[in-house]
C-alpha cells in the first residue's frame, strides 16, 4: 500500500514537471527561434543599389587634383624722394663777397633814430700787443683795450668780418671833420679796418675785398664819399698806410 502511494506521487511529479516545462516555452526549438530572431534583428539587410544612389547624392569629383591658387601679391608702391636742393652758401652783395659775423660787445652805440649813411672811412690797423702782427683775434683785443670798433675788418686773406651792425654808430673815426665841414663823422659813416702795418701794404685779396664790400654797401646806402682816416683827422691819424687809391674802383 505504501509502495503504491509513493509510486503515485512520483508519477504525478513527473507529469506536473513536463506540463510546467511545456507551458514555460523553454523548449530547444523556442531557443533556436529566439536566437534566429535576434540574428535577423541585429543584421540590417543591405539596401538595393538604386536606393542608395537615390537617397545619397554622389558628389562630382574632379578628374585631376586642383591645387589652390595663391592670391596675387599686392603691388608695393615705392616712393622715390627727389633730392632736396642743398642751400647755397649765402653771400652778400657782389659775387665772391662772403661776410662773416663777429659782433663786438664794445666800441659802438645804438642811435635813438635810424641814421643816414653817406660816407665810408678806410682804416688800417694791426696787433701791437705782441705776437703775430696780423692776428685778427689780437687786433680785436687791442680794439677792446682802447674802447674802439669798426663796422668791418678785412684780414690778410681778404676775409671780411662784420664787427658792428651798420645801423649802429661804431667808434672808429674819433674826433674828425669832413672836407665839407661836418663833424662827428661816426654818426653818418661806416668804418672799414684793413689789417696791415705801416710798412707792409695790402694784399691783392684785400684790395678785391675792399672793392666788393664798398660796392655792397653802396647797394644799401647813398654813399657820397670814400675817405681815409687821415683825411678826416689830419695831424692825428695817417692811415690807411700806403694804401693805393688807384686800385679803388
Active site residues: 193
Q: Would you call 61 exposed, middle or buried from its count of C-beta atoms within 10 A (0-12, 13-18, 19+)? A: exposed
Q: Which residues pair with 123 in a beta bridge?
A: 193
Q: Would you call 200 exposed, middle or buried from its count of C-beta atoms within 10 A (0-12, 13-18, 19+)? A: middle
Sorted by sequence, the CB contacts under 8 Å of residue 193 that are 6+ apart come out as 123, 124, 125, 139, 150, 152, 153, 154, 172
Residue 150, phi then psi, degrees to nearest 5: -135, 165
Pairing outcome for strands 169-170 and 189-195 = unpaired
Q: Are 173 and 159 in contact (CB under 8 A)?
A: no
CA distance 35 to 15: 29
Compute CA 137 distance to the chain's CA centroid, rounded to the nearest angstrom.
36
Amino acid at each position: 500500500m505504501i509502495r503504491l502511494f509513493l509510486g503515485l506521487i512520483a508519477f504525478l511529479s513527473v507529469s506536473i514537471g513536463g506540463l510546467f516545462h511545456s507551458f514555460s516555452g523553454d523548449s530547444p526549438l523556442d531557443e533556436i527561434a529566439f536566437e534566429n530572431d535576434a540574428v535577423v534583428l541585429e543584421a540590417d539587410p543591405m539596401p538595393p543599389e538604386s536606393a542608395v544612389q537615390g537617397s545619397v547624392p554622389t558628389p562630382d569629383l574632379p578628374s585631376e587634383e586642383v591645387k589652390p591658387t595663391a592670391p596675387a601679391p599686392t603691388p608695393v608702391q615705392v616712393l622715390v624722394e627727389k633730392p632736396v636742393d642743398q642751400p647755397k652758401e649765402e653771400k652778400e652783395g657782389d659775387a665772391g663777397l662772403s661776410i662773416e659775423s663777429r659782433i663786438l660787445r664794445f666800441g659802438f652805440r645804438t642811435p635813438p633814430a635810424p641814421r643816414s649813411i653817406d660816407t665810408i672811412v678806410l682804416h688800417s690797423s694791426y696787433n701791437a700787443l705782441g705776437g703775430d702782427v696780423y692776428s685778427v683775434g689780437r687786433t680785436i683785443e687791442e680794439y677792446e683795450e682802447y674802447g674802439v670798433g669798426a663796422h668791418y675788418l678785412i684780414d690778410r686773406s681778404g676775409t671780411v668780418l662784420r664787427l658792428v651792425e651798420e645801423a649802429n654808430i661804431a667808434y672808429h673815426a674819433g674826433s674828425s671833420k669832413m672836407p665839407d665841414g661836418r663833424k662827428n663823422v661816426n654818426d653818418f659813416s661806416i668804418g672799414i679796418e684793413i689789417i696791415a702795418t705801416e710798412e707792409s701794404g695790402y694784399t691783392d685779396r684785400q684790395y678785391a675785398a675792399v672793392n666788393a664790400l664798398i660796392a655792397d654797401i653802396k647797394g644799401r646806402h647813398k654813399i657820397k664819399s670814400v675817405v681815409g682816416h687821415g683825411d678826416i683827422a689830419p695831424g692825428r691819424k695817417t692811415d690807411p698806410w700806403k694804401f693805393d687809391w688807384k686800385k679803388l674802383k
